[in-house]
Amino acid sequence: MRPSRRVGQSRGDRGFLNRPLARTEENISVTSYHLDHLQHLETEAIHIMREVAGEFERPALLFSGGKDSICLLRLAEKAFRPSDLPTPLLNVDTGHHFPELNEFRDRRAKELNGKLIVRKVEDAIANGTVQPAPGEISRNRLQIPVLLAAIEEFRFDCCIGGARRDEEKARAKERFFSYRDSFGQWDPKNQRPEIWNLYNGRLNPGENMRVFPLSNWTEMDVWEYIRREKLEVPSIYFSHKRQCVRRNGQWLPVNSLVPPKPREEIRDLVVRVRTIGDIISTGCVESPATTVDDIIAEIAAARVTERGSRADDKSSEAAMEDRKKAGYF
């Protein structure tokens, strides 16, 4: 059966209507609203940062100069620019930091015209606020009262941190909004549900919240974001020559704080760090990686987590959880 013609349609018009449309720029320039993996993580983190700005009166952003806090700063820029950042930058300096890290921290805060607040463990020891135990070298434990004192001094009701769930099993228990009681302590059994991306930021006087916008990120995501955003990171993340000693299954940098033991052999190695803590507890990994692309390829093939090179996490099975319950970041 022959197809019928429409009213006013000639025989020639019928053939024209059956021909496909010509491919023009107007036909193919269709806006895509699909978010790739990094874009989804970015929008989630920006949303959480804006929630913090809307719900809390005196928030602060914990900035050490490490790769996670570098990403937090870029996310804060995207969340609040062209306005000034609504949060000061807070750092607890143990006195055992890598010099490259502190230099980068100060310079980056100045570039962003941000208010940087640094509280030092050395000062707390001098004025008697904290007291190291006999023979205690690590200052990880001593950071806790210094951080809590800074929160009380500036009346911060929220601290934004760069912790991620993939880092360590205690951090895997964290919510985006991590409630801390009036003593600054964390109870994993007393946290608030976060259904449908709704966050409860209500606090009683003296309580505070720790917020982790990067909770769903992985180490790979962080480095891919650094590559995409062309972010500068401290030089110790890339391979460099450093004197190291082998101790407890990892390469520790030689320094005056923990000198080599009599039978330990000092080796000149080409190494880098995957995660940065105190210089006395941060293990180095042998690596030829000199670019961000090299690091991403290295992480893709790695079979050890980044915090596997942190000596402070190996003091016990629950080392991180015990510190968090006492008020750690």
132, pLDDT greater than 50? yes
List helix spans (H) across 97-234: 99-111, 121-126, 140-154, 219-229
Q: Give the chain's mean pLDDT.
A: 83
Place of tokens 């310079």: 107
Of the given ranges (29-33, 232-236, 288-292), which has the lowest mean pLDDT?
29-33
- Of the candidates 35, 92, 46, 47, which has an alpha carbon nearest to the alpha carbon of residue 72? 46
152, pLDDT greater than 70? yes
The mean per-residue pLDDT over the stretch 70-82 comes to 94
How many whole angstroms separate alpha carbon 238 and alpha carbon 201?
A: 39
How many whole angstroms separate alpha carbon 134 and alpha carbon 179?
A: 33
Q: Which residue has the higher pLDDT, 202 or 167?
A: 202
- For the record, the structure tokens of 218 come out as 């992985």
The pair phi, psi for residue 26, each rounded to 5°, is: -65, -30
How many whole angstroms separate alpha carbon 312 and alpha carbon 278?
A: 9
263, pLDDT greater than 80? yes
Place of tokens 């299954």: 249
Q: Count Cβ atoms below 10 Å from residue 255 Cβ, excluding itself.
A: 15
101, pLDDT greater than 50? yes
The CATH number for 84's domain is 3.40.50.620
- Of the candidates 81, 97, 192, which has an alpha carbon nearest to the alpha carbon of residue 139? 97
How many whole angstroms separate alpha carbon 172 and alpha carbon 166?
A: 6
CA dist 241 to 216, 245, 254, Å? Answer: 33, 13, 12
> Quick one: pLDDT band at residue 48, thresholds 50, 70, 90?
very high
320 touches 313 (CB < 8 A): yes
Count of domains forming the chain: 2
Q: Verify that 201 and 258 share a domain, yes or no.
A: no
How many whole angstroms separate alpha carbon 134 and alpha carbon 141?
A: 13
64, pLDDT greater than 80? yes
Q: 225 in a domain, yes or no?
A: no
Position 312 scores a pLDDT of 53
Q: Verify that 126 and 269 share a domain, yes or no.
A: no
Phi-psi sector, 213: left (phi>0), alpha (psi -120 to 50), beta: alpha
Position 105 scores a pLDDT of 93
Position 226 scores a pLDDT of 96
327, pLDDT greater than 50? yes
Position 30 scores a pLDDT of 66
56 touches 177 (CB < 8 A): no
Position 257 scores a pLDDT of 81
Q: 23 in a domain, yes or no?
A: no
> Quick one: pLDDT band at residue 165, thresholds 50, 70, 90?
confident
The mean per-residue pLDDT over the stretch 94-114 comes to 90
Position 310 scores a pLDDT of 56
Q: Verify that 286 and 164 share a domain, yes or no.
A: no
The mean per-residue pLDDT over the stretch 20-31 comes to 56
What pLDDT digit, counting tens, does each position of 176-191 carry?
998 888 888 888 888 8
Position 16 scores a pLDDT of 44
Position 326 scores a pLDDT of 67
The mean per-residue pLDDT over the stretch 126-153 comes to 84
9, pLDDT greater than 70? no
Q: Which residue has the higher pLDDT, 318 or 124?
A: 124
316, pLDDT greater than 70? no
Please tell me whether the overall predicted TM-score, pTM, comes out greater than 0.75 for this model: yes
Q: 60 in a domain, yes or no?
A: yes
Domain extent, residue 190, equals: 37-219+320-326
The single-letter DSSP state of residue 264 is: P
Q: Verify that 58 and 90 share a domain, yes or no.
A: yes
216 touches 42 (CB < 8 A): no
Q: 207 in a domain, yes or no?
A: yes
298, pLDDT greater than 50? yes
Q: 264 in a domain, yes or no?
A: yes
Of the given ranges (84-88, 216-220, 301-305), which has the lowest mean pLDDT?
301-305
Q: 169 in a domain, yes or no?
A: yes
Position 319 scores a pLDDT of 64
How many whole angstroms separate alpha carbon 139 and alpha carbon 61?
A: 21
